[in-house]
Structure 1
Amino acid sequence: MAIVSLADAKKQLNIPDDETSEDVEILGFVDAATAAVEEQLGTIVEPRTVVDELDFRRSVTSFLLQSVPVISLTSLTSLDGTRSWDVSPGAAHVDKDSGRVTLLGATISGSAIAIYQAGDLSPGANVRLAAKIIIQHLWETQRGTMGVQLGGDGEPYVPGRGFAVPRRAIELLGNQLPGVA
């Protein structure tokens, strides 16, 4: 499930559904917008399988997964494959928002591989709209339809920020630009 469907992206770009010659390029912009949204939010939006390589110098009963939100923990095995830990709900608890895994009645040490599903199963309207704004911005700058604008979309240039993510998309995602309020 993509953050924005091809049909929604085409609608944002005013491209008829039956016009398919640009579909591959548009899907590339959907992928780029998804990555930009995830970078701004610091979380996974498009659900996918994630593999974390973990290293525990001592025995622990809990640890953090690297990507959140966590949908489900699939497996936890030693790096060499000789040991696995039960990750069923009665044997392990996963805090979906923080990514903290707590093993109930077991410890883990050494190197291990955690395989899990991460992502937001229902991103908010603001997240989807921000992605569509980014897609439209990338599409227009690729096509030269915006004219020459230093900050993109008539926005002033902000040092340390690129032009791929318009400020209005960043604001929809809840991240404020540095500066004086």
Structure 2
Amino acid sequence: MALLTLAEAKAQLNITDTANDTELQAYVDGVTAAIEAHVGPVENRTVTEKHDLSRCGVRQLVLRQTPAVSLTSVSPVLSGGTTYTVASLDLDGPTGVVCRLDGGRLYGPLRVVYVAGRGTVAPTINLAARIMVQHLWRTQYGASRGLAAVGGGDDYSVTEPVGGWGYAIPNRVLELLEPYKLGPAVL
């Protein structure tokens, strides 16, 4: 599952030839990390984490990457520790909260293997990725295409404000991602 395909990026940019495919693919690959910084993992991936739990145990542990699609295994880091079957645990995917179905405590330290991501790419996230590639691709044109006169008020402006670095993510992309935005986290 890709956040955005080369064909989708080319359609967004109205490019029909293959002359820039290698360079454009780098843009397609590059937008994933920036978008996932706002919405969490989109493309499914396996994650392994170590969770050091209280000696008294905890009622729930919170995965560090959300949303989570499924648990693969929850096993002790140290020999002789408790192994938990995935069937005996409940995963709240959007929040990443894992707890025992019987209400008991989890004892650790534990190694948790799970799949983080969204299962499918929401059309709005795909559109945000297309717009972001379009925004970044405009840096190819510069003053030679008459864009030097575009002021900083345009969301697509790729000129750098005086004394600043400009920006890579336009406001319209951030607005599209807002419904999927991660909440604040404490690690």
Equivalence for 1:169: 173
Check conservation: 1:92, 1:101, Cα contact below 8 A: yes
| Between structures 1 and 2, the one with greater strand share | 1
Check conservation: 2:91, 2:99, Cα contact below 8 A: yes
Structure 2 residue ranges without an equivalent (≥5) = 180-187
Check conservation: 2:3, 2:43, Cα contact below 8 A: yes
Structure 1 residue ranges without an equivalent (≥5) = 176-181
Q: What's the TM-score once normalised by structure 2's chain length? A: 0.75
- In our comparison, the structure showing a higher alpha carbon Rg is 2
**Offset, 1:44:** 1.6
Equivalence for 2:4: 4
Rounded Cα–Cα distance in structure 2 between residues aligned with 1:103 and 1:121: 24
**Offset, 1:163:** 1.1
Could you report, residue by residue, the CA deviation over 1:61-107 in whole angstroms, capped at 9, with x for unpaired residues?
3211111111110111222465532112xx11111111111123454
Rounded Cα–Cα distance in structure 1 between residues aligned with 2:95 and 2:10: 35
Q: Give 1:104-143 correspondences, 5 Å limit.
A: 104-105=101-102, 107-143=105-141
**Offset, 1:153:** 1.6
Equivalence for 1:100: 97
Rounded Cα–Cα distance in structure 2 between residues aligned with 1:100 and 1:161: 38
Letter in 1 for 2:136: L
Check conservation: 1:146, 1:153, Cα contact below 8 A: no
Question: Cα distance 1:107–1:13, how it changes in 2: closer, same or farther (>3 A)?
Answer: same
Equivalence for 2:47: 50
Could you report, residue by residue, the CA deviation over 1:23-61 in whole angstroms, capped at 9, with x for unpaired residues?
3433322232122222223x2212211222211123123
Identity %: 37
Question: Cα distance 1:166–1:113, how it changes in 2: closer, same or farther (>3 A)?
Answer: same
Give 3-state SS (helix, strand or coil) of 1:2's partner: coil
Rounded Cα–Cα distance in structure 1 between residues aligned with 2:157 and 2:132: 15
Deviates more, 1:47-56 or 1:166-175: 166-175
Check conservation: 1:47, 1:120, Cα contact below 8 A: yes
| Between structures 1 and 2, the one with greater helix share | 2
**Offset, 1:160:** 9.4
Letter in 1 for 2:28: V
Give 3-state SS (helix, strand or coil) of 2:42's partner: coil
**Offset, 1:133:** 0.8
Give 3-state SS (helix, strand or coil) of 1:28's partner: helix
Rounded Cα–Cα distance in structure 1 between residues aligned with 2:119 and 2:37: 17
Check conservation: 2:90, 2:100, Cα contact below 8 A: yes
Which runs of at least 4 in structure 1 moved beyond 6 Å after TM superposition?
Answer: none
